[in-house]
Structures are given as structure tokens and as C-alpha cells.
Structure 1
């Protein structure tokens, strides 16, 4: 009898009896799934759970038919084989496997997992069916091959970018320009530093490589940081800093010391708030943030607070998928009077420890 629940459709294993179906090596299947795990929205811990479930299937070959490979082990048994994984964590990974379609759940009328034997054989069983894994064999192979190709392309792009960056650095040194200083190619080198830390960002790396190659093809004289400093000094003579920038609730020197990523890119740090604002303006395009988005942030946050917000985003750049969207969210909070820069700094420092 087929049992129907509000969550899953149950079916006894005996319902799948018939001619011998196609079968696939279960360990080869899970190896392909491991390679393409991100494409199926699965963590490697979820795949570890799947590997343990496969140990309950006696044959190495997994039949590509629903209902032929039911695992009816309890959560307690699975947890034991997983080295004592908490059952709450186990349930979460099982739900992820079901949601991805890698396994199916066949519930009994009381939603329990169990087996009914007939002599030496199994008459019917309720639990998790691993048949869908074998049914996905072709898709798994294709996705694994595509993912492997992406990784290979990423490695090639990364190697070419490292070489191009080194060539650009040597070109700057030949012009007596400090590559770590402020010059026309500072944003490009900063973007390279950020993107090389990320994974699975081939499109970003292709664009970066093209920009680096363009910079190398046009080796015109570059404005050095000393010239920029003279320009800044002249500008300060015409404009007092107090007129350009409002007061801020945080101390510049103390705040900057808490941002390790910023100090890697600007080892000398800012001499004043105006220079910090200039550094932030260089970071904005490196981080993929549109200029108008940053201008709006400065409008509502203030000319001091907006640059500090950029430093916070830079510190957590590896974990923020959309820096521009995050900055828009912070700007909205500021517009509504709910933004607290000290809280953002504290959360940023706690998050990177």
C-alpha cells in the first residue's frame, strides 16, 4: 500500500521489483557529486552523510531505479557512523540531500523508517531511496567535467594575471614609481589583489587580465604619488579640512588600525580624513561598487562615515557577495536614522576574527 504524507510520498521497496535496471558504481557517483557539490547546492558535510548512507547498500553498483536501494537506518545509527554528529545537524543535511534531488524519502504511514523481511530477503522497506543518485549519473558526470574545466580555467587565468601584475610592477619600478604607492594604476593593482583571493570568479578574472594587458600595452608616464601629494598640499592651502569634512564620532588613527585589509593596501595609512576619503574613492571601483552608489552613501552618511563604511566592506570582502548592494542597504539605514558606524566597525572586527 502506498502511503501519502503532507511532505513525501512513501512506497515500499517491493514496488520496484522487475527486470534488472542499469547500475552505476556508487563511489564513482559520489566522487562526481563531490566535485560538482556547489552546483547542486550541497556542502561537503552533506556529501559525507551521503557517503555513510551508501555504506548501508551492500552492492558496489547502485541500481538506477527508484525503490531499489532504500536505506532504513535510524538517525541514531547514522549519527554513530558519522562519529557522533548531532541529530539536528544530521537532519539538516538529510533535508538538503532530499531538496537537491540526490536522494528521495519514502515515508511509512507513521513517518518511521523500518524494514519488513520475508525469510532471508526484504519484503518492503521505508526510508531514504538512493536510486535518484544513480539516475543522475549522466548529469553528475557532465557537471563534474564542467566544474573541473572551470577550476582549470581559473588556475590558468590566475597564473596569467600574476605574470601580468609582475610585469606592471616592474614597469612602475622602471619609472621610479612605488607600486605600493598612489598612482594611475593603483586601482587596477588593488583590484588584482582582491580578485586573486576569490574562487570561482572566472569572468572577473578575464576582465582583470584584459585591463592588465591594456595597461602594459600603453606604458605612458604615470603620475607618481609625490606629484599627487603636491597637488593635495596645494588643495589644502585653498580649502581648510574643517570646511570640507564634517566631524565624526570615531577616532581616525584608532579606527584605521582595526582594518588589516586596508593597511595591506595602504601601509602608510592616511595622514588625515581627506586622504582616507581619497583612498576610499580608489577602493570603490576595485570592489565593484558603482560611483553613484558611493556618492549617495556620502550624501546620507557624511564624508567621514562613508569612507569608513568602505573599509568595513573591504575587511569582509571575501564573505560579501554584493558589496554595492550591501552599501545601498547601509545607506538606507542611514537615511532612516538607524545606521550606527561604531556598531558596524565592531561587527566587522568580530566577524573577521
Structure 2
């Protein structure tokens, strides 16, 4: 018997008897419909979302819901139990029930979960793949999940690079603002030693409230630094040379405060060994050893420039090590070079090297290389070669 090969639709069969594969599950979330993105680990993605939550328009509770949704992705290796990166081949449609999501979201209520899901959909981080009855469930073929109805995380993963960059900007902003706060404190203390009028005194008092606010921005900090420098410049302009010479102690922290704005000055490269005498090289000491308070006090008296930013003596070795890293960031020393220097010479030698760089910051084009050479050679510039930094204030 001859049989003509035709599809059921071509034979005019009823649509309920022959459903096309592409339209069988309309609106289902599948891997083929997902956008391309670079693989990312969900812990790193969640950390970036948490850091950039304000820029994304999210509250902390909404970040917790994102954590619950990400925890439902099939990323864990069943053999080793280690999380694998999320890739474009990972099914991003979450079909877990609200009860499961509420439990993983630190026990929030069903009503709170629905509200946060609406917020995430409004800001464009999730999309809904609803079934006809609104239920969430997977679509399986030969025992393997090939799609699902539920909550699609494709918009979040499509923006993963943008969110990671935004979070890094937030972190850089926080580091820069921390350095500028120290600069403002130094300039403010210098201004308090001057004989200024009542208006300036009130402005100096208001700075404390600005520094305490968590919403202070870099733009506000720069404006304050500019005004404080203007106050000092105006006072110097009307002061006599004799009075200026008596204010040497006042000028020291002001000169050190130029470190935060050193990129505005034209640098001149200087060698770490050119034209300088060798000094006695102390044996390297490990920063993990306990240090007496007296030894820290003696060390702090020699670090004139670092002491302008950190007038209080460190409480412990850990506190001193934290200062090494913070001041290194302000000097633009590469973190890996800074860590290597601390590991090889100890945090004391690193502090002395940073103080030496701070003394000649306007003449050093590459602080990272200068720091490395300074620790390797154990030499420092002579006191007669120090630059005049008053032109940079």
C-alpha cells in the first residue's frame, strides 16, 4: 500500500491531535532562549549585587531574595559538591515553590516574597515565565529537564558584567573617599591652628558632621578640600614672612595633605639609588611578631609624613599593618608589590619606605617601582634633596 509522507498539519488534522514541537510549550524558559554572558560564579555575582544595590534600586531584603533565587540554580557538582560557574548552558528559569524560596530567603513571608519579586521585575533583573495556571514546574524529556515555567534570571545574568563593573566602581569610590577623609582631617587641623574669623570657624565645625555622614560623596569631599586649601592660601597671603616661618609645624600636615591631590602635579622621575648615601640596613622583621608600645612610639616619631595622616600611634601590629595598606593605596603602590615588600622586609621597613615616598611624592613618577627599589637597596634620599612642596598646596 502506497503511503504519502505528510505532517499531521498538512493532512488537515485537528490541532489537538498534532502539536508542533516549537509551540507545544508557549512561554517556557529554555536554554536556547537565554542570552550569552561570560561565566560567573554566583557568590561573586551576589557580592556585586550587594555592593551595587543602591545603584540598582534594591533594598537589602531584595538582595536576600536574589540570593535565594541564585541558590536554586543547578551549579553544584554532585560528585565534589563544589559550585561551578553559571554559564549560558545553565537553565536560568527557577521553578522552586514559594515555600522553598521563603525558607532560603531567611524566613520571609509569602506576601513579602511576592512584593520583592515585583520589585526585581520592575528594575529589570528577573522575568516571569508563567504557565497557564500560574504554577511553576519543569519540562522534562527522557528524564532530563529541558525547560521550565517559573522565574527567569536571564536579565540578571545578561547584566552581570555591568553589575560587576558597577560594584568595582563602588569599591574604588569607597577607597578614594576614605583617603580624602584623612586629607580633610589633616587640613582641618591645620586650619584650626590659624587665626581665622568666626565664619571660617563655623565652617570648620560643620566639617565634622559632613565626615560622619555615610552619604558623603567624593564631589563634596573635593569641594571641602578646595575650600580648606583656599583658607590656608588666603591666610599665608596676608601673613608676614616672620609669621610664616613660625608656622612650620602648621605647614607640615598641610604639605602632607597634598598626597590626595598629587595627580594634579607634574611628576618627575627620580631613581631610588641616584646620588644618595647608604644607610644602615636593619635585619628584616616579621610583622607577625609582637611589638611593644614603646617601640611603636619611637617608630611613629620618625614617620613625620605618615603621622600627619595618622596622628594616633597604632594599637597593635595588625593596626599598623592596616595603615601600611591604606597609605600604600593613597601613594598608588600596586597591592602585589606592597604585599611582597611586607613579606620580605616586614611592615616596619614598608612604613619607612612609604614615608620616604611621601616626602618626595611630587618628584616620583612611578611609586610602585620606587617602593620596590627602595626596599631592595635599603637607601633613602638625603635630607638636602627634599623638594619644596609648598607650591603644590
Q: 1:57 aligns with which of 67, 73, 82?
A: 73
Quote the Cα distance in structure 2 between the aligned partners of 1:52 and 1:114.
17
Quote the Cα distance in structure 1 between the aligned partners of 2:109 and 2:70.
19
CA deviation profile, 1:99-138 (whole Å, cap 9, x unmatched): 2222222111222222233342124311111222222122
Contact in 2 for aligned 1:63/1:131 (Cα 8 Å): no
Q: Secondary structure at the match of 1:28?
A: helix
Number of the residue aligned with 1:184: 199
Quote the Cα distance in structure 1 between the aligned partners of 2:86 and 2:175.
30
Alignment of 1:84-103 (within 5 A): 84-103=107-126
Alignment of 1:322-337 (within 5 A): none
Identify if the C-alpha distance between structure 1 residues 187 and 55 changes in structure 2 by more than 3 Å, giving closer, same or farther. same
Residues 1:159 and 2:182 aligned together = yes
106-115 vs 157-166, which moves further: 106-115
Q: Secondary structure at the match of 2:191?
A: helix
Identify if the C-alpha distance between structure 1 residues 70 and 19 changes in structure 2 by more than 3 Å, giving closer, same or farther. closer
Number of the residue aligned with 2:169: 146
Number of the residue aligned with 1:293: none
What is the TM-score when the length of structure 2 is the normalising length?
Answer: 0.47
Quote the Cα distance in structure 1 between the aligned partners of 2:226 and 2:190.
14
Q: 2:29 aligns with which of 1, 6, 13?
A: 13
Quote the Cα distance in structure 1 between the aligned partners of 2:147 and 2:131.
10
The CA RMSD over aligned residues, in Å, is 3.1
Contact in 1 for aligned 2:35/2:154 (Cα 8 Å): no
CA deviation profile, 1:256-280 (whole Å, cap 9, x unmatched): xxxxxxxxxxxxxxxxxxxxxxxxx
Number of the residue aligned with 1:124: 147
Quote the Cα distance in structure 1 between the aligned partners of 2:216 and 2:165.
18
Number of the residue aligned with 1:237: none
Name segments (4+ residues, structure 1) moved above 6 Å. Answer: 1-4, 17-21
Identify if the C-alpha distance between structure 1 residues 189 and 152 changes in structure 2 by more than 3 Å, giving closer, same or farther. same
Residues 1:201 and 2:217 aligned together = yes
Quote the Cα distance in structure 2 between the aligned partners of 1:188 and 1:3.
70
Residues 1:106 and 2:125 aligned together = no
What is the TM-score when the length of structure 1 is the normalising length?
Answer: 0.52
Contact in 1 for aligned 2:35/2:158 (Cα 8 Å): no
Quote the Cα distance in structure 1 between the aligned partners of 2:32 and 2:167.
29
Q: Secondary structure at the match of 2:199?
A: coil
Quote the Cα distance in structure 2 between the aligned partners of 1:18 and 1:193.
51
Segments of 5+ residues of structure 2 without an aligned counterpart are 1-21, 76-83, 240-393
Alignment of 1:254-293 (within 5 A): none
* Alignment length (residue pairs): 207
Contact in 1 for aligned 2:42/2:86 (Cα 8 Å): yes
Contact in 2 for aligned 1:70/1:129 (Cα 8 Å): yes
Quote the Cα distance in structure 1 between the aligned partners of 2:56 and 2:165.
13
Contact in 2 for aligned 1:49/1:82 (Cα 8 Å): yes
Offset at 1:205?
1.4
Residues 1:211 and 2:234 aligned together = no
Offset at 1:79?
0.9
Identify if the C-alpha distance between structure 1 residues 205 and 69 changes in structure 2 by more than 3 Å, giving closer, same or farther. same
Q: Secondary structure at the match of 1:57?
A: coil
Contact in 2 for aligned 1:73/1:113 (Cα 8 Å): yes
Residues 1:24 and 2:40 aligned together = yes
Identify if the C-alpha distance between structure 1 residues 15 and 167 changes in structure 2 by more than 3 Å, giving closer, same or farther. closer
Offset at 1:15?
6.7
Quote the Cα distance in structure 2 between the aligned partners of 1:20 and 1:144.
21
Identify if the C-alpha distance between structure 1 residues 24 and 195 changes in structure 2 by more than 3 Å, giving closer, same or farther. same
Contact in 1 for aligned 2:140/2:147 (Cα 8 Å): yes
Q: Secondary structure at the match of 1:192?
A: helix
Offset at 1:24?
2.4
Residues 1:37 and 2:53 aligned together = yes
